Amino acid sequence: TFYSSKIISGQKRYSSKTWCVKHNGNDESSIYALDVLRQDVSKELNNISGIDCSLIFNALESTNNMDSGDLILPLPKIKVTNPVTTANRWATELVTHGSIGKVCAKGPFLQFFLDQRYLMQSTVPTILLQKGKYGEKKSHHQKKVVVEFSSPNIAKPFHAGHLRSTIIGGFLSNLYEAMGWSVTRMNYLGDWGRQFGLLAVGFERYGNEKALEKQPIQHLFEVYVQINKDLVEEEKNGTSQYGIGGKARTFFKKLENGDQNAIKIWNKFRSLSIHHYIQTYSRLNINFDIFSGESQVSKKYMSEALNIFYENNLVEKRDGALVIDLTHWSKKLGKVIVQKSDGTTLYLTRDVGAAIERKKDLQFDEMVYVISSQQDLYMSQLFMILKKMNFEWAKHLKHVNFGMVQGMSTRKGNVVFLDTILDEARDKALQIMKGNKVKISQVDNPQQVADLIGISAIIIQDMKSKRINNYEFNWKRMLSFEGDTGPYLQYTHSRLKSLERSSNNFTTDMLVRADFTNLDEPQLVELVRLLVQYPDVLRRAFEIQEPATVVTYLFKVCHQVSSCYKKIWIVGEPSHIAIPRLAVYSATRQVLHNAMSLLGLIPVDRM
Contact present, 200 and 266 (Cβ < 8 Å) = yes
| 369 interacts with ligand ARG by CB under 6 A | yes
Contact present, 135 and 594 (Cβ < 8 Å) = yes
Query: By C-beta, is 188 or 309 nearer to ligand ARG?
Result: 188
Query: By C-beta, is 40 or 357 nearer to ligand ARG?
Result: 357
Query: By C-beta, is 151 or 401 nearer to ligand ARG?
Result: 151
Which span sits near ligand ARG by CB under 6 A: 145-153, 169-177, 213-221, 565-573? 145-153
H/E run at residue 112: strand 109-114
Contact present, 580 and 514 (Cβ < 8 Å) = yes
- Cβ 573 to ligand ARG shortest distance, Å: 56
Query: By C-beta, is 194 or 247 nearer to ligand ARG?
Result: 194
Query: By C-beta, is 294 or 536 nearer to ligand ARG?
Result: 294
Q: Can you tell me which of 128, 220, 227, 371 binds ligand ARG, judged by CB under 6 A? A: 371
Helices then strands (H, E): number in the chain?
Answer: 23, 14
| Residue nearest to ligand ARG according to CB distances in the complex | 190
Which span sits near ligand ARG by CB under 6 A: 36-44, 111-119, 147-155, 218-226? 147-155
In the shown chain, the binding pattern of residues 414 to 453 toward ligand ARG, with x for contact by CB under 6 A and - for none, equals ----------------------------------------
Please list, in sequence order, all residues whose beta carbon lies within 8 angstroms of the beta carbon of residue 12, skipping any fewer than 6 positions away.
52
Contact present, 199 and 205 (Cβ < 8 Å) = no
- Cβ 188 to ligand ARG shortest distance, Å: 5
Query: By C-beta, is 187 or 533 nearer to ligand ARG?
Result: 187
In the shown chain, the binding pattern of residues 333 to 352 toward ligand ARG, with x for contact by CB under 6 A and - for none, equals ------------------x-
Under rule CB under 6 A, how many of the chain's residues touch ligand ARG? 8
Q: Can you tell me which of 46, 54, 122, 151 binds ligand ARG, judged by CB under 6 A? A: 151
Contact present, 136 and 180 (Cβ < 8 Å) = yes
Tell me the H-state helices in 464-603.
475-479, 486-502, 508-512, 522-544, 547-567, 575-599
Residue 333 phi/psi, 5-degree rounding, is: -80, -20
Report CA 23 to chain centroid distance, whole Å. 29
CA distance 98 to 39: 11
Strand partners, 169: none
Contact present, 272 and 247 (Cβ < 8 Å) = no
Which span sits near ligand ARG by CB under 6 A: 4-12, 24-32, 148-156, 449-457? 148-156
| 536 interacts with ligand ARG by CB under 6 A | no
Put residue 214 in one of left, alpha, beta given phi > 0 → left and psi -120 to 50 → alpha. alpha
- Cβ 20 to ligand ARG shortest distance, Å: 45
Contact present, 489 and 596 (Cβ < 8 Å) = yes
Query: By C-beta, is 19 or 188 nearer to ligand ARG?
Result: 188
- Cβ 160 to ligand ARG shortest distance, Å: 11
- Cβ 495 to ligand ARG shortest distance, Å: 40
Cβ density class 553-575: b for 16+ within 10 Å, e for less: bbbbbbebbeebeeebebeeeee
Tell me the H-state helices in 188-259.
195-206, 209-214, 216-236, 244-256
Strand partners, 109: 74, 106
| 190 interacts with ligand ARG by CB under 6 A | yes
Q: How many CB atoms lie within 10 A of CB 313?
A: 8
Q: Can you tell me which of 112, 134, 188, 192 binds ligand ARG, judged by CB under 6 A? A: 188
| 462 interacts with ligand ARG by CB under 6 A | no
Query: By C-beta, is 5 or 374 nearer to ligand ARG?
Result: 374
- Cβ 195 to ligand ARG shortest distance, Å: 12
- Cβ 151 to ligand ARG shortest distance, Å: 4
Strand partners, 73: 110
- Cβ 153 to ligand ARG shortest distance, Å: 5
Which span sits near ligand ARG by CB under 6 A: 9-17, 77-85, 146-154, 530-538? 146-154
Query: By C-beta, is 178 or 352 nearer to ligand ARG?
Result: 352
Query: By C-beta, is 40 or 148 nearer to ligand ARG?
Result: 148
User: Could you tell me which of 441, 408, 483, 501 has the C-alpha nearest to residue 449?
Assistant: 441
CA distance 369 to 237: 43
Contact present, 248 and 259 (Cβ < 8 Å) = no
CA distance 155 to 65: 49
Please list, in sequence order, all residues whose beta carbon lies within 8 angstroms of the beta carbon of residue 526, skipping any fewer than 6 positions away.
66, 560
- Cβ 173 to ligand ARG shortest distance, Å: 15
- Cβ 238 to ligand ARG shortest distance, Å: 33
Report the chain's terminal Cα–Cα distance, integer Å.
Answer: 42
Q: What angle do CA 540, 541, 543 make, to 5 degrees?
A: 65
| 112 interacts with ligand ARG by CB under 6 A | no
Q: Can you tell me which of 153, 187, 533, 552 binds ligand ARG, judged by CB under 6 A? A: 153
Catalytic site residues?
156, 159, 162
Q: Which residues bind ligand ARG (CB under 6 A)?
A: 148, 151, 153, 188, 190, 351, 369, 371
